[in-house]
Chain A
Amino acid sequence: MKSKKLDIEQVASFLHDGMTIMYGGFMGNGTPPRLIQAILDSGVKDLTMIGDDTAFSDATKGPEGVGLLIRNKRIRKMITGHIGLNKEAQRQMIAGEMEIELCPIGSIAERIRAGGSGLGGVLTPTGVGTSVEDVPQDLTVNGQKYTKKPVFNINGRDFLYETPLRAELAVLEAVHADKAGNLVYYTSMRNHNPLMALAADTVIAEVHQIVEVGCIDPDHVMTPGVLVDYLVYPK
């Protein structure tokens, strides 16, 4: 079996300026800290980051998560649902230094799921009649150009069309992995991680514990190892 082990120093070889990266986590819980640090250390910039939120700017309240890359101005654009507890993210958005596409969290999750599942997008009632409709789009539906999100009335109910999301790289955090990359998450740390494992060209998971193949009951695997390209072992 080909080893999936990746030294943290090797992460840089998967990175380039202007790339799109998905990061697991919800308020930084389930965001892989060493992988975020490795992205910073590589020097890449102008990133598009897709994830739940921008975590905490006050390190006494919770993990900084993707905020490390925000604080160091490596991000050009974010697609995210909440920036309320990261003052620097709000400052950069208002100053026009970073583009933020706000999207309801349930829609982010389903857009990632669609992107990873080979689906053409999502029809959701969430955001109908709100400013979420007005997020600029470069979209063609049945030959017709749309500059905002189209609303489809289906059997009498309005649904907003949301495009699928994919990334070049997904960085995940799991609590256990076997050497084949089968992942187990811990409680609230699961969040978007299993969805993102399907939706990126390259998937790297940082794990707290590595076990031999066969040590995880197949019924307990939360992300199948075939989706995980590389594992960053614990220090």
Chain B
Amino acid sequence: MTQEMSAKEFIARRIALELKDGDTVNLGIGLPTLVANYLPPGVTLMLQSENGFLGIGPVPEEITPIGQPRVVNAGGAPCSIIPGGSTFDTSISFALMRGGHLDACVLGGLQVDENADLANWMVPGKSVPGMGGAMDLAVGAKQVIVAMEHTAKGEKKILKKCDLPLTAKGRVSTLVTEKALFRFHDGKLVLEEYAPGVSVEEIRAETEASFIVSDKLKEMVISQVGL
């Protein structure tokens, strides 16, 4: 990892290489949204906005004032819809998730454990924003990619068992941190990639969960867009 690049940017750049041209994808709010900035040339995604459309486009040059009909994303911020996009009600929007019609979703994480359980929606006594669409995304998308910093202020986040309230059980497919990329294969957590300059020993020391080291272990490559 280069000195000047933040952990979040590094993670987003790695995940950008996970997505294939033409995929239908939901990017969660925060770090996952950054992934769209680093898609390699030739990769165009159909991005879902869970409030009811496919084809999230850029923020319009002229923003329609609050109170007039306008397009917003799931966070309520003004955006646009690309040519070829489509709009629908909430039932269809969440059917796209639960029904397995999304190739992937990218979600932030508070904790992931070796059973592929994810906790990302609340910290009891501290933050109770509500699960929003996170539980529906996690149970339904074909691939659930978690974007998460490896530790939080020295506290381990990749655990034997999540102790925060769960978002979904057994649904994580891929976990990307600034140090490592793991995938779940047949319910087992497998280390497949390490970030440049990071050793397997260092990853072990900062990971509570048991994991297998892939026999194809390799150094992580990230999207070079804009570098």
Task: Decide: B128 and A83 in contact? CB cutoff 8 A.
Answer: yes
Is B46 engaged at the interface, CB distance under 8 Å to the other chain? Answer: no
**Alpha-carbon separation in the docked complex, A105 to B137 (Å):** 10
**Alpha-carbon separation in the docked complex, A53 to B74 (Å):** 11
**Alpha-carbon separation in the docked complex, A110 to B76 (Å):** 22
Task: Decide: A81 and B69 in contact? CB cutoff 8 A.
Answer: no
**Alpha-carbon separation in the docked complex, A82 to B134 (Å):** 10
Is B70 engaged at the interface, CB distance under 8 Å to the other chain? Answer: yes
Is B83 engaged at the interface, CB distance under 8 Å to the other chain? Answer: no
Is B168 engaged at the interface, CB distance under 8 Å to the other chain? Answer: yes
**Per-position binary interface string of chain A over residues 185-198, scored 1 when its CB falls under 8 Å from any chain B CB and 0 otherwise:** 01111111111000
Task: Decide: B132 and A81 in contact? CB cutoff 8 A.
Answer: yes
**Alpha-carbon separation in the docked complex, A189 to B93 (Å):** 13
Contact status of A175 and B98, CB under 8 A, knowing A53-B132, A85-B76: no
List residues of chain A with CB within 8 A of the CB of B128. Answer: 83, 90, 93-94, 102
**Which residues of chain B from 115 to 162 have any CB-CB distance to chain A below 8 Å in the complex?**
117, 128-136, 139-140
Contact status of A188 and B52, CB under 8 A, knowing A26-B74, A130-B168: yes
Contact status of A63 and B66, CB under 8 A, knowing A127-B135, A193-B89: yes
Residue of B nearest to A61 (CB): B76
For residue B157, give the distance in angstroms from its CB to the closest CB of chain A. 18
**Alpha-carbon separation in the docked complex, A102 to B135 (Å):** 12
**Alpha-carbon separation in the docked complex, A29 to B69 (Å):** 8
List residues of chain A with CB within 8 A of the CB of B134. Answer: 104
For residue B217, give the distance in angstroms from its CB to the closest CB of chain A. 31
List residues of chain B with CB within 8 A of the CB of A104. Answer: 131-136
Is A125 engaged at the interface, CB distance under 8 Å to the other chain? Answer: yes
For residue A131, give the distance in angstroms from its CB to the closest CB of chain B. 5
**Alpha-carbon separation in the docked complex, A62 to B91 (Å):** 23
Interface size class of A (residues with CB under 8 A): 35 or more
Residue of A nearest to B78 (CB): A62
Number of interface residues of B (CB under 8 A): 44
Is B81 engaged at the interface, CB distance under 8 Å to the other chain? Answer: yes
**Which residues of chain A from 44 to 88 have any CB-CB distance to chain B below 8 Å in the complex?**
52-53, 55-56, 59, 61-63, 80-85
**Per-position binary interface string of chain A over residues 127-148, scored 1 when its CB falls under 8 Å from any chain B CB and 0 otherwise:** 1111110000000000000000
Contact status of A27 and B87, CB under 8 A, knowing A63-B66, A187-B53: no
List residues of chain B with CB within 8 A of the CB of A192. Answer: 89-90
Contact status of A109 and B91, CB under 8 A, knowing A82-B129, A104-B136: yes
Give which listed residue, A85, A131, A187, contacts B81 with CB less than 8 A: A187
Is A42 engaged at the interface, CB distance under 8 Å to the other chain? Answer: no
Most buried by B among A62, A81, A186, A192: A81
Is B50 engaged at the interface, CB distance under 8 Å to the other chain? Answer: yes
Task: Decide: B53 and A195 in contact? CB cutoff 8 A.
Answer: no
List residues of chain B with CB within 8 A of the CB of A94. Answer: 128
Is B34 engaged at the interface, CB distance under 8 Å to the other chain? Answer: no
**Per-position binary interface string of chain B over residues 60-82, scored 1 when its CB falls under 8 Å from any chain A CB and 0 otherwise:** 00000011011111111100010
List residues of chain A with CB within 8 A of the CB of B77. Answer: 62
For residue B111, give the distance in angstroms from its CB to the closest CB of chain A. 13
Task: Decide: A27 and B69 in contact? CB cutoff 8 A.
Answer: no
**Per-position binary interface string of chain A over residues 8-36, scored 1 when its CB falls under 8 Å from any chain B CB and 0 otherwise:** 00000000000000000011110001000
Known: A56-B76, A82-B129, A191-B89. 10 other contacts (CB 8 A): A27-B76, A29-B51, A52-B90, A53-B132, A85-B129, A104-B131, A106-B135, A130-B168, A186-B70, A193-B89
